[in-house]
Amino acid sequence: MENSVAYEKATELRLGLPGIDEPAVLSSVKNNKRPLHDEKSGENGKSAQNETAPPSKAQIVGWPPVQSYRKNNFQQAKKSESECGGIYVKVSMDGAPYLRKIDLKVYKGYPELLQVLENMFKFTIGEYSEREGYKGSDYEPTYEDKDGDWMLVGDVPWEMFITSCKRLRIMKGSEARGLSCSGV
Amino acid sequence: MQKKTAYSFPDEILEHVFSFIQSGKDRNAASVVCKSWYEIERWCRRKIFVGNCYAVSPTMVIRRFPDIRSIELKGKPHFADFNLVPDGWGGYVLPWISEMAGAYPWLEEIRLKRMVVTDESLELVAKSFTNLQVLVLFSCEGFSTDGLAAIAASCKNLRELDLRDSEVDDLSGHWLNHFPDTYTSLVSLNISCLGSDDVSFSALERLVGRCPNLRRLLLNREVPLDKIANLLSRAPQLIEFGTGTYAAELRSDVYSNLAEAFCNCKELKCLSGFWDAVPAYLPVIYSVCSRLTSLNLSYAPIQNPDLTKLVSQCPSLQRMLVLDYIEDSGLEVLASSCKDLQELRVFPSDPFGEEPNVSLTEKGLVAVSSGCPKLQSVLYFCRQMSNAALVTIAQNCPNFTRFRLCLLDPKIADYRTLQPLDVGFGAIVEHCKDLRRLSLSGLLTDRVFEYIGMHAKKLEMLSVAFAGESDLALHHVLSGCESLRKLEIMNCPFGDKALLANAAKLETMRSLWMSSCSVSLGACKMLGQKMPRLNIEVMDEKGPPDSRAESDPVDKLYIYRSVAGPRFDMPPFVWTMDEDFASELS
């Protein structure tokens, strides 16, 4: 991905004065996650909002230091859907004592999303089939939709999924299998 | 049995004397005078502050202080506010509640900041502490309105419920109904963070109506403007009030009702809320303005001249929070009208915009520093700064205790001379001898850190981003700032040398945060082995550190002193570097 090159450049830490273009002194750590640190482009590179889908501008996580509740609460003149707001949903996994949050807008489809979930919670999802759901693993990714129903991830087209998904839950065991049998 | 000499006081007298010592610091000092003072003090300590919930365990606290009535706990590091701490990091309050449930049945006050509070925790609080009077959840998360319902139903003596800036899951709007009809003790209620379905307005009205001691009421955004008048008329004794959304179609009946309601609140001193505020309804608060000591317009999109006109009517202001819509011109008016001003916070209306959308520069801050002799605390977001301005500000305000400057472009130079801003910040620390908190930004070399180490002797908290050139900078701070308690650093070229050379200093501080710096894994391991009273936590979402070279820089590093040893509730992306680290992974 082109982005990983930009990422590697950005995490190169320099010992010279900021703004001077010197060769990298330290190598960056390899990363296969979506880029969070991009170098500021030019002298007037500005940071973009953490929570927006990445525009062509650079973004710096944590700068400017505006608190999340303030960012959430204060709305500027409404921008178009494509510019503003990622789709943030909470992700929980049965048995894990913590919750994570992800931005569904960032992913292009189910394979990418599932890969991310696997990395996040350190488990494997089985093979998906429309009739039988996820086979080959004790875990099944599910989500709560706008109507409050719990559905199996993958049952509806991706675009429909990201607009209707309220939260994700990686279920374990037989409870999960119950969902996959409730076919259309 | 203790041998009493002619020179020792009976325990009861000492205990009585100690009861006049309220500050935790003073109590801590008294407790180390001698063993008997330690013993007496620990039995009569009623209030405890734990700045880092992982620095000590609940068991240890309970063992030492058997009869606590008021506890304050803080969890996540400050940079969690800016999304630098991933979800799941920690800061769970449940272990504390579980242990205190048995040990402190008479607990009256619980104050939590940046902690994860589940409904289970809240239910346990409701069940265990029947005498609970104060519950403050400041920037907390993890709970829903179900947990709040449990509190409402059980805590008959609750005076203060403050959910400031917390993230609450909206499940049901009717939790307020769980306050029984017989409940009348509410004094302070802050629900400004709640979402749309969370508040049943009629329940709120009834609650407000039956609590004659209610002095502080901060509503959430969803309460419409036309309901405010009715609410205020039930609570004319309010001292502090936060509106909901401050926008509505202009209607003369709504307008006059509001004006009358505000006018009848003769003790109102603090106003906030004002989401989506429209200028048309601003004059309804004019009758209150002359009395206002605190005004928070930081969610109000109103611009000049309306904004400045409002400000000019508030000569008693001590605390002002506002968006940069106020511009330099508005700040000049503030400077000439509000001679009692102590605290100013100016937030960016468009922090990620390419071009400036308002005319707010260093001039506004200079004006306020010149016009307001009592100014002590500043948080200022702007787009340009000069050394000359900072020097002037420093000379005008030698009494600063908190100075936080945030330049939206983090490495921007002095716009007039194109020099780094070292000299300007140097002047701040040199002139402001009582400075306790400082946030830097702009183009900064190692120089500024030399000044800080040399002058900032009372500095307790320092926030640094995109600054400095070498480890020398970090060394200046760690070796020079005698009072330093919290240091948080992001995106600076600081590596191992300064950290290792000043390892002992870290035990005198609460915590150190370093993210996107150059501290190597090897150095972290070394610190972990050599400093058993520090927890060295490496945070990396890319994978365990064992798979990488010793010289590789760690992504995020959080070091804090602790007498409780390493914690065990870490998520998969946090590793503690201690003596066992190497063997754990084999």
Give pLDDT tens digits for A40-66.
Answer: 333 333 333 333 443 444 567 788 999
Interface of B with A in 184-203 (CB under 8 A): 193
Output A7 or B103, whichever has higher pLDDT: B103
Could you give the CA distance from residue B235 to residue B267 in angstroms, rounded to a whole number? 11
**Quick check: B353 and A122 CB within 8 A?**
no
Measure CB to CB from residue B518 to each of A13, A30, A76 and give the nearest one: A13
What CATH code would you report for A88-176? Answer: 3.10.20.90
**Which residue intervals of B280-339 are DSSP H helices?**
286-289, 306-311, 327-337
Most confident stretch, B9-23, B28-42, B535-549: B28-42
* Closest residue in A to B573 (Cα–Cα): A120
pLDDT at B171: 73
Q: What angle separates helix B422-431 from helix B387-396, to the nearest 10 degrees?
A: 10
> How far A154 CA lies from chain B's nearest CA (Å)?
25
C-beta separation of B536 from B577 below 8 A:
yes
> What's the mean pLDDT when you consider all of chain B?
94
Could you give the CA distance from residue B186 to residue B209 in angstroms, rounded to a whole number? 11
For chain B, give the percent of residues with pLDDT over 90. 88
pLDDT at B7: 60
* Closest residue in B to A64 (Cα–Cα): B408
- The residue-averaged pLDDT of B373-401 equals 97
- Residues from chain B contacting residue A121 (CB–CB below 8 Å): 572
Sign of the torsion angle spanned by Cα atoms A32, A34, A37, A38: positive
**Quick check: A49 and B352 CB within 8 A?**
yes
- Residues from chain A contacting residue B322 (CB–CB below 8 Å): none
**B248-252, B427-431, B435-439: the lowest-pLDDT one:** B248-252
pLDDT at A41: 34
Is B352 in CB contact (< 8 Å) with chain A? yes
* β-pair partners for B74: B113
The encoded tokens of residue B32 equal 């180390």
- Residues from chain A contacting residue B353 (CB–CB below 8 Å): 46
Could you give the CA distance from residue A73 to residue A51 in angstroms, rounded to a whole number? 13
- Residues from chain A contacting residue B347 (CB–CB below 8 Å): 66, 70
ipTM of model over 0.85: no
- Residues from chain A contacting residue B410 (CB–CB below 8 Å): 47, 60, 63-64
Residue B99, H or E segment: helix B94-103
The encoded tokens of residue B242 equal 């936060």
**Quick check: A76 and B193 CB within 8 A?**
no
DSSP SS3 for B7: coil
The encoded tokens of residue B261 equal 């309601």
Could you give the CA distance from residue B359 to residue B325 in angstroms, rounded to a whole number? 8
CA proximity to B14, closest of B41, B35, B48, B33? B41
Is B350 in CB contact (< 8 Å) with chain A? yes
The encoded tokens of residue B173 equal 């709007």
pLDDT at B407: 96
CA proximity to A142, closest of A114, A183, A108? A114
- For an interface test with B, give the residue of A69, A84, A91 to mutate (most B CBs within 10 A): A69
pLDDT at A4: 47
How many other C-beta atoms are found inside a 10 Å radius of the C-beta of residue B352?
20
Judge whether residue A20 has pLDDT over 60: no
> How far B542 CA lies from chain A's nearest CA (Å)?
7
- Residues from chain A contacting residue B349 (CB–CB below 8 Å): 74, 76
How many other C-beta atoms are found inside a 10 Å radius of the C-beta of residue B272?
21
- For an interface test with A, give the residue of B81, B83, B89 to mutate (most A CBs within 10 A): B83
Q: Phi and psi (nearest 5°) for A169?
A: -140, 125
Could you give the CA distance from residue B357 to residue B521 in angstroms, rounded to a whole number? 43
DSSP SS3 for B547: helix
**Quick check: B445 and A60 CB within 8 A?**
no
- The residue-averaged pLDDT of B42-50 equals 95
Is B408 in CB contact (< 8 Å) with chain A? yes
